[in-house]
Amino acid sequence: MSKRILVSVALLALLSVGTTIDVRAEMAASDVEEALTCQCGCGLTVHSCNHLECSFAVPTRKNIAESLARGETGEQIIDRYKLKYGEKVLSSPLPRGFNLLAWVAPYAGIFIIGTLMLLRFRRRSRQRTLEPPDETDGLQSSSPSSPELDRWRTQLQEEIEELKR
C-alpha cells in the first residue's frame, strides 16, 4: 500500500513540477519584461510597473522590443541587464550556485517531511502488527481480514462519527 502511495505522491509531484516548467521555443517581450525587476522602487517587474511614465520600465520595455526585433534573444537581453545592474535586476534568482538553494529548499523541505511522515507511519504499522491487540479498542483491535469487513467497519465508524455530531 505504501508503495502505491509513494508512486501516487511521486506522480503528483511530477504533475506539479510540470506546471512550473515553461516550455518555450523563444521568449516573448512580456517574458523578458517579467524576468526583470523595475528599478524605480515600485517592487514590481518591468512588465507590471504601475508608473506609466516610469523612467526605468518605459525605456526598458522599448529596448526589449527593439532588441528582440533586431534578433537578440531574450536570454541575451537579460544577461545584458544583469551585467549593467547586477543580479538585483533579475526578478527571480538564477538556479545556479548558491541561488539554486532558493529553488530547491522548499521542495526539499516538503520531500523530507513527507518522507519522514511515511517512514514513521511504516514503523508504527510494523510495531502494531507485532503488538497484541488492544482489548479496549474493539474497532481497532479486531484484525482486519477482508475488504468487505473493512468496508463495514469504515461505514460503522462514519455512522458513529455522524451520530456524535
Chain residues binding other proteins by CB under 8 A are 1-2, 5, 12, 15-20, 34-35, 37, 41-45, 48-50, 52-53, 86-93, 98-99, 101-103, 105-107, 109-110, 113-114, 117-118, 121, 124-125, 128, 140, 144, 147, 150-151, 153-154, 157-158, 161, 165
Per DSSP, 36 falls in state: B
Specify the residue, 84 or 165, whose C-beta has the smaller distance to other proteins. Answer: 165
User: Which residues face 37 on adjacent strands?
Assistant: 45
Nearest to 56 by CA among 73, 81, 31: 81
Cβ proximity to other proteins: between 72 and 103 the closer is: 103
Q: How far apart are CA 112 and CA 140, in angstroms?
A: 29
Q: At closest approach, how far in Å is the CB of 71 from other proteins? A: 24
| DSSP secondary structure letter of residue 47 | T
Task: Give the separation between CA 95 and CA 101, rounded to whole angstroms.
Answer: 8
Distance of closest approach, residue 56 Cβ to other proteins, in angstroms = 13
Nearer to other proteins, 71 or 106 (CB): 106
